[in-house]
Chain A
Amino acid sequence: MTVSAPGFVTQVWAGITVVVEASASLILSCAPGNSEAVVRATVPVAPSNQSRGNLNNSVMQNTPLNGRDWAQLATLQAGVTGVQTGSATGGGNTDRGFGAPISISGARPDQTAISWTDSAINDYSNGARAACLGQFRIDAVEQVSVLGRQLSCGYGRTSGGVINAITRSGTKQFHGDIYEFFRNSALDARNFLTEESSFQTQSVWRLSWCPLQTDRMFIFGDYEGLRQSLGVTTVETVPSLQPRDSIQAERGPGPATLCSIPQTSHSFHRTVAQQLRFPVRSGFSRQSGSHNAYRSICFALRPCILPAAERPLLGNGDTGIFSFAGQQITNENYFTVRVDRKISDKDALTATYMRDNSKNCLARRLSTSCFQYHFRGAKVVTLQRATRLQWPS
């Protein structure tokens, strides 16, 4: 910032950082002298308060982050803690998403409001972000701010704190880059409970560009895609051998015989029908008999489908645990665009748009559970002509 006045020495101040929700005050004292003389100075960095602070772009770009998740930066502030419990509000399951839940000043994670350019991105229960990828990476973020207690009245839906991320804006020079983040089982340590890691691929591509159309318009865009196939240790409760034998005793050699016949063959269908005293046709489907008969057939087939239980058995011995490595497939496509338009010396227009489509499916032996997340957000901020409001004296 250059400060000049006739009859006073000109001052040039560098290192001024404008942060989110902050009102900076720089008190200057001009010394009389030749106005052509220049004094250069750097604004000192003010220490951050507890549970309240801002992380500038330099800190964000140089801090190693697992998965380049920007939300981890919030934990650099005092009083901010990441919570990974795996519960409904703790993240890490296919019921609600994979955003990192964060506690501010000891509050519950669902008391924390997370916003992207002042737009709320909490999930339906006010929990952490629900996307599979965790939404935008650090490369698309200009600044992360953490607001603890004593929030301004401009914030709502929170009784703990606010984590706010500001999208980057375009620059005066064209810039674009692309990268791929790759990891597989050879580069990933196995889980303690699994025999080997079945992490096949994880790829993230990113393309951003920051062209300058004119001296008054700046555009920033960012696209990221995720393709991931991850082995996840999964536990199912299945019948033990005793109830299987009971079924076999009731129906003769039924289940054992059925399991030895290919389930797609005609002889398999005929064997099932004969055991259930069902009319033999060229094949049967659900429509060929009553619903009860169909349920009986499914019941007869269950021993063929259900895997054997591991010891020790549960309860009275009728059920047991079967653990296996399910495959979790995650695909995500995300992009954001921001346009800054300078209308006049005191007026500016900023428009941002973000879209995130993601799907996560965990394949089990008996079922497949999927989690889908779709987010569309648009925000237009008009900065009106700068005027200072004063109370009448």
Chain B
Amino acid sequence: MKDVTTGQVRTALTDTSGSYSLPALPVGNYD
């Protein structure tokens, strides 16, 4: 997940059930 403004990238892996989460994301727009 890439922050449009800062260009920072956050990655996450799904667990065995296919769930994923990206907690504590700063406010903003993402691609």
Within 8 A of A (CB), among B1-31: 1-2, 5-8, 10-11, 21-31
Point out the residues of chain B lying under 8 angstroms from A123, CB to CB: none
Which residue of chain A has its CB nearest to the CB of B22?
A386
- CA A12 to CA B31, docked complex, whole Å: 8
Q: Is A139 engaged at the interface, CB distance under 8 Å to the other chain?
A: no
Q: Is A169 engaged at the interface, CB distance under 8 Å to the other chain?
A: yes
* B6–chain A nearest beta-carbon distance, Å: 5
**B24 near A169: Cβ-Cβ < 8 Å:** no
**A143 near B27: Cβ-Cβ < 8 Å:** yes
Point out the residues of chain A lying under 8 angstroms from B10, CB to CB: 345-346
Point out the residues of chain B lying under 8 angstroms from A39, CB to CB: none
Which residue of chain A has its CB nearest to the CB of B8?
A342
Point out the residues of chain A lying under 8 angstroms from B24, CB to CB: 346, 348, 383-384, 386
Q: Is A18 engaged at the interface, CB distance under 8 Å to the other chain?
A: yes
For the residues of B in contact with A, the DSSP-based class is loop
Identify the interface centre among B11, B27, B31: most chain A CB within 10 Å of its CB.
B27
Within 8 A of B (CB), among A253-295: none
**B30 near A1: Cβ-Cβ < 8 Å:** yes
Interface size class of A (residues with CB under 8 A): 20 to 34
Query: With contacts defined as CB atoms under 8 Å apart, how many contacts are there between chain A and chain B in the complex?
Result: 64
Whether A172 touches B25, Cβ cut-off 8 Å, given contacts A1-B1, A17-B30, is no
Task: Name the one of B6, B11, B21, B22 contacting A169, with C-beta atoms under 8 angstroms.
Answer: B6
- CA A14 to CA B29, docked complex, whole Å: 9
Whether A18 touches B27, Cβ cut-off 8 Å, given contacts A1-B1, A388-B21, is yes
Give 1 or 0 for each of A368-393: 1 = CB within 8 Å of chain B CB. Answer: 00000000000000011011100000
* A6–chain B nearest beta-carbon distance, Å: 13
**B31 near A1: Cβ-Cβ < 8 Å:** yes
- CA A142 to CA B21, docked complex, whole Å: 24
* B7–chain A nearest beta-carbon distance, Å: 4
Task: Name the one of A12, A340, A345 contacting B6, with C-beta atoms under 8 angstroms.
Answer: A340
- CA A171 to CA B26, docked complex, whole Å: 13
Q: Is A331 engaged at the interface, CB distance under 8 Å to the other chain?
A: no
Residues of B within 8 A of A (CB): 1-2, 5-8, 10-11, 21-31
A-B pairs, 8 with minimum CB distance = A16-B30, A383-B24, A386-B23, A172-B7, A1-B1, A14-B31, A18-B25, A171-B5
9 pairs of residues in contact across A and B, judged by CB atoms under 8 Å: A1-B31, A12-B31, A16-B1, A169-B6, A169-B26, A342-B8, A348-B26, A386-B24, A387-B23
